[in-house]
Amino acid sequence: MPYAVPKLTDYSPAALEKAANECISACQAEAAEVRSDSDLKSLRDRWMARKNGILTQINDLWLKGAPKEAKRDAGMRVNELKVRITELVDAAHVTSGGDAAAESVDISLPGIRRPIGAEHPIIKTMNEIVGVFQKLGYSVAEGPVVETDYYNFEALNFPPNHPARDTQDTLFIANQQSKPQRERLLLRTHTSPVQIHTMETMRPPIRIVIPGKVHRNDPPDASHSPMFHQIEGLAVDTNITFGDLKGTLDHAMKSLFGSNVKTHFRPSFFPFTEPSAELYVSCFICGGSGKRGADNAPCRPCKQTGWIEVLGCGMVDPNVFEFVKDNGYDPKKVSGFAFGMGVDRLALLKYGVDDIQLFFQGDVRFLEQWA
């Protein structure tokens, strides 16, 4: 039976509500049955026509017949109903109908999944290394990637024109010639300048690690990238010794590569540390033998030496402290050690990736292996 507007005798709120709901349900049901444009037109005519449409009938039957005291309430109710019916008719559209299964929602189907991102292997490695030092009480500092000559070189005891500058093939920002040399901008070649920024703002004692991006004018190949990542470390206090450096880094290497790796320090040179060293860990791929597998194949990551170089380090050069002396870093009173490591190289070794470029090409098939 198609819906017909009933006469109302009972004008109580409950009865009005019931009549309105029946009307809405009927309209919804009819709107769901629209299968063609002509159905849509009939629906509209049946419900909305000025002359004898259902809304007009309701107006006549429910409002005009209402007893005086119920008029106000019935009026409000009818107005709400008109809005609702108009919405339903406006929203009605042609549907294919028929197959009930096609229209119903199968709530057992999996929902639409949004792909979730994964931590990039470089960031993951960085966080792991930073985490090891945080457990030792180190805090994290960061600094600008676009740096001045002063912070990248001069205050780290690379005097202007000193040949030590040639060890870091720097990318310079254009049009800086009119500035004094120490103010000229460049892309930092290492995270060491943040040692200076930190000592300028924090008084000793300090223990910090500094993760970040660095750039060098190196053509890209399997082991080089003009952009890569480093983590710097700096500890300054009274009576810090080379023994503290060795103990700290030995502990860190065992946390990162496993408790059975050995560490080994070889003398080196960096302008900002004296003495300086390179830290090697026993190869965590071949266990230090230089050979792999039953057939004694040569171990490539350690080039058959059994040792892998992981970082540079040393005792902070007193000349560096001179640049921040006014903030409590009198080289006669404090001493410290520093270290810096290449994150990308460690990530390559750790995950057995053979081309650094893969880290920066954004190929989801490669990156999703870390998801």
Positions in the binding site for ligand DAH (CB under 6 A): 190, 192, 232, 270, 273, 312-314, 338-340
* Cβ atoms 32, 95 nearer than 8 A: yes
d(C-alpha 367, C-alpha 304), whole Å:
29
d(C-alpha 36, C-alpha 9), whole Å:
38
Q: Is 365 helix (H, G, I), strand (E, B) or coil?
A: helix
Least gap, CB of 307 to ligand DAH (angstroms): 18
Indicate if the alpha-carbon torsion angle 78, 84, 88, 90 is positive or negative.
positive
By Cβ distance, which residue is nearest to ligand DAH?
340
Q: Compare residues 191 and 282 and give the one whose CB is closer to ligand DAH.
A: 191
Element housing 350 (H / E): helix 343-351
Q: Compare residues 81 and 245 and give the one whose CB is closer to ligand DAH.
A: 245
Least gap, CB of 128 to ligand DAH (angstroms): 19
Least gap, CB of 268 to ligand DAH (angstroms): 8
The two tokens of residue 119 are 């931590």
Q: Is 206 helix (H, G, I), strand (E, B) or coil?
A: strand
Q: Compare residues 121 and 212 and give the one whose CB is closer to ligand DAH.
A: 212
Least gap, CB of 362 to ligand DAH (angstroms): 26
Q: Compare residues 85 and 313 and give the one whose CB is closer to ligand DAH.
A: 313
Q: Compare residues 143 and 340 and give the one whose CB is closer to ligand DAH.
A: 340
d(C-alpha 107, C-alpha 279), whole Å:
59
Q: Is 231 helix (H, G, I), strand (E, B) or coil?
A: strand
DSSP state of 227: E
The two tokens of residue 368 are 């999703």
Least gap, CB of 200 to ligand DAH (angstroms): 16
Least gap, CB of 367 to ligand DAH (angstroms): 26
Nearest to 186 by CA among 149, 156, 151, 160: 149
Least gap, CB of 214 to ligand DAH (angstroms): 7
Q: Compare residues 236 and 313 and give the one whose CB is closer to ligand DAH.
A: 313
Give me the residues paired with residue 316 across strands.
273
Q: Compare residues 338 and 348 and give the one whose CB is closer to ligand DAH.
A: 338
Nearest to 89 by CA among 6, 32, 50, 19: 32
